[in-house]
Amino acid sequence: MSDFFFFFFYCSSHQARTHVSYELKDDVAVIRLNDPTSKVNTLSVQMQSELSEVMGEIWSNGAVKSAVLISSKPGCFIAGADINMIQACKTSEEVTHLSQEGQKMFEKIEKSPIPVVAAINGSCLGGGLEVGLPGAFDMMLTGRNIRADKAKKMGLVHQLVDPLGPGLKPAEERTIEYLEEVAVGLAKGIANKKVALTKEKGLMQKLQDTVMGLGPVKQKIYKTVSEKVQKQTKGLYPAPVKIIECIKTGVEQGREAGYLAEAENFGKLAVTPESKALIGLYQGQVICKKNRFGTPEKEVKKLAILGAGLMGAGIAQVSIDKGLNTILKDTAVEGISRGEDQVYKGLNTKVKKKALTSFERDAILSNLSAQIDYTGFDSADMVIEAVFEDINIKHKVLKEIEAIIPPHCIFASNTSALPIKDIAAASKRPEKVIGMHYFSPVDKMQLLEIITTDKTSKDTLASAVSVGLKQGKIIIVVGDGPGFYTTRCLAPMLAEAVRVLQEGTGPKKLDTLTTSFGFPVGAATLADEVGIDVAAHVAEDLGKAFGSRFGGGNVEVLKTMVENGFKGRKSGKGCFIYGKGKKEKSVNSDAEEILQKYKLSAPPSVSSDSDIQHRLVSRFVNEAVLCLQEGILTNPVEGDIGAVFGLGFPPCLGGPFRFVDSFGAEKLVSMMRRFEDVYGNQFTPCQLLLDHAKDPSKKFHK
């Protein structure tokens, strides 16, 4: 690589440019982007100004007939705008100005007198896409990843270059070189008119264009798109609506007006609480994807999982596809058969979506050994148990396992509520015992909550974190206690949800109330997803541990449902009825009857839609703050990440702690006091929350 860099620094102009440089290859200017301070290129102020400068030099050089824009970083063209740059702006005007500067540059490239070929290797996101594809300047961006071949079909890119394997240089280096060679060839071809970029439009395309150009049709399109956006965002995310507005302005009133609207709206959006919340989540997630606990003494290469249920099989799936040798053990052949099927289906879905080849799927599956005995456990580096949530069973399993596993092997419990120290009580080596709380479905949910006891060794923690990161998880590390952090926050909210149901709000209405507050999954559906039996179990356990504060709805409601076989989605019935091929789920009328039996009257003073929403959320948030107060959480960032990625706390609110900051602790406390008057200590704000209410300068996030 060194020669390569030396060459272009030497050739680049006299000024000390650090991010953008260029060299001439015959009559083609090859412009290279390389942010020396980062692993990825972003559209920082520096990058933009240097690029503008370089483009200016190139255009004023008559010998240059075309240009190639390429990144020197393997696997990244431009990863988008620089978030820090946007965050550093104090006002919307500042952001608008930045946006306009960017627009000017994009426009310049688009109107370039010479052809500019963007050679893209790897991620090309947001503004990066606009640099790469000036032709598609006005495009709307949804947060989707598009594979290269798809991008070509969509017409986003003109030509694909395949990555190369080993040659006379490292593959990555040669691939960039090759990409550049092909791009230079293409640029020359376009410049001397040997390559035509536009295809003659077909009759259908012409017809479509004409129809789309008609006034009423356009109005209809705007309407349809707006409605769709409204439905998806529930009006909680302002950006998509603004994007449509910009396009409309651009199409109706001309490009200039469109650009102006875009810059102004971008400025406004950047300073919204939603923007702050989402940027906060992004940054928190980056932190939680780093190993902050060092390299473990012994890398985990062989993993054993006990219990091939939904959880166990899910953990197996995310382990084997990262190359971990994994044993999946259950007590019965039927159990492992079902578990193996789950893993196969999970991987095969990726094959159907063309994210994997069938061959890769098979190779991944070869890392899995499903079995009903303890063969191979004697060489396991880590055991994760996902057996039934019963302390006696956990103890039995732990003792059985410890008789077989090697001394260095870590025992991790995937429990959602049982304190780890209680489980570790049966262990001969409690320093090797840790909690690894996964969320269902494991292959979709990004969070992993790791629980340490005061006996858990640092190396055990480092090992658990490195396995979790390998499995692609976002990790929060919390202290031990009933329900740890996540389950402890969820339990009071679900208890409140049961009470709301008992008070006569139907499951559908409850779902609507919660989703319109920003929860991606409604509270009733969430209970079904978690499992009514699990919810009942947790409610009872935590109720015992925390007393009346965890009360609210009657646990008997859940127990009766379980007795009737309504265990949630997994049993086909819960609050709702689930069936194959059914799109609209219908309310389970038998469950409604049970609710009728336990009916409570709804106190009118706290039963408005908004009050119900805040009753649910405030209990969640108060418990989260209490966790921080008690030291279960070490910082608010992990609290926010855990709530959003594990429990679906509204992302637009950024998590419980950011919610307190933006909503106002004082306002929240006074609201809770009103609920407290009716329901008692379930709504008593915790001390830390009171402290924040008293002193408005206190914020969880700076």
| Residues 388 and 397 sit within 8 Å (Cβ to Cβ) | no
**Which of the ranges 5-13, 167-175, 390-398, 502-510 carries the binding residues for another protein, by CB under 8 A?**
167-175
DSSP type of residue 66: E
**Which of 78, 70, 76, 75 is closest to 129 using CA atoms?**
78
Binding residues for another protein, how many (CB under 8 A)? 18
Minimum distance from residue 170 beta carbon to another protein (Å): 8
From 141, 182, 257, 600, residue interacting with another protein (rule: CB under 8 A): 182
Tokens of 339: 């578990």
Does 166 participate in binding another protein (rule CB under 8 A)? yes
Shortest gap between Cβ of 168 and another protein (angstroms)?
5
Find the shortest distance in angstroms from Cβ 166 to another protein.
Answer: 6
Q: Say how many Å lie between the first and final Cα of the chain, rounded.
A: 41
Q: Tell me whether residue 167 or residue 631 sits nearer to another protein (CB atom).
A: 167
Contact between 155 and another protein per CB under 8 A: no
168 is a site residue for another protein (CB under 8 A) = yes
DSSP assignment, residue 603? Answer: P
Sheet (strand 20-25) strand order: 20-25, 28-33, 66-71, 116-119
Q: How far is the CB of 190 from another protein (least distance, A)?
A: 12
Tell me the C-alpha distance between 440 and 644, whole Å: 14
Alpha helices in 631-664 (DSSP H): 636-647, 656-663
Hey, which residues between 188 and 227 contact another protein (CB under 8 A)? Answer: 195
CB-nearer residue toward another protein: 167 or 680 = 167
Min dist CB 174 to another protein, Å, is: 6
From 449, 496, 529, 623, active-site residue: 449
* Contact pick of 75, 185, 376, 664 for another protein (by CB under 8 A): 185
Which amino acid is located at 661 in the chain? D
Pairing mode, if any, of strands 576-577 and 382-385? Answer: unpaired
Query: Does 67 participate in binding another protein (rule CB under 8 A)?
Result: no
Residue 386: closest CA among 469, 442, 467:
442
25-61: b (≥16 Cβ within 10 Å) or e = eebbbbbbbbbeeeebbbbbebbbebbbebbeebeee
| Segment lying near another protein (by CB under 8 A), choices 179-187, 228-236, 243-251, 607-615 | 179-187
Number of H helices, E strands in the chain: 29, 16
Strand duo 447-452 + 433-438: pairing: antiparallel
> What number of residues does the chain have?
702
Catalytic, 449? Answer: yes
Q: How far is the CB of 348 from another protein (least distance, A)?
A: 16
Question: Strand, coil or helix: what is 680?
Answer: coil
* CB of 67 or CB of 85, closer to another protein: 67
Measured distance CA(668)–CA(673) in Å, rounded: 9
Q: Is 186 in the site for another protein (CB under 8 A)?
A: yes
Tell me: does residue 174 bind another protein (CB under 8 A): yes
The answer to whether residue 118 forms part of the interface with another protein (CB under 8 A) is: no
Separation CA 305–CA 438 (nearest Å): 13
Residue 350 lies near another protein (rule: CB under 8 A): no
Q: What is the smallest separation between the CB atom of 204 and another protein, expressed in angstroms? A: 23
Q: Is 359 in the site for another protein (CB under 8 A)?
A: yes
**With respect to another protein, which residue has the nearer C-beta, 148 or 241?**
148
- Report if residue 84 touches another protein, rule: CB under 8 A: no
Q: Are 378 and 406 in contact (CB under 8 A)?
A: yes
Binding residue (CB under 8 A) for another protein from 36, 165, 579, 604: 165
Scanning 85-93, 121-129, 162-170, 381-389 for contacts with another protein by CB under 8 A, the matching segment is 162-170
Give the residue, chosen from 25, 104, 108, 169, that forms a contact with another protein under the rule CB under 8 A.
169
Catalytic residue positions?
A: 449
Question: Which residues would be at the binding site for another protein (CB under 8 A)?
Answer: 159, 161-162, 164-169, 171, 174, 178, 182, 185-186, 195, 357, 359
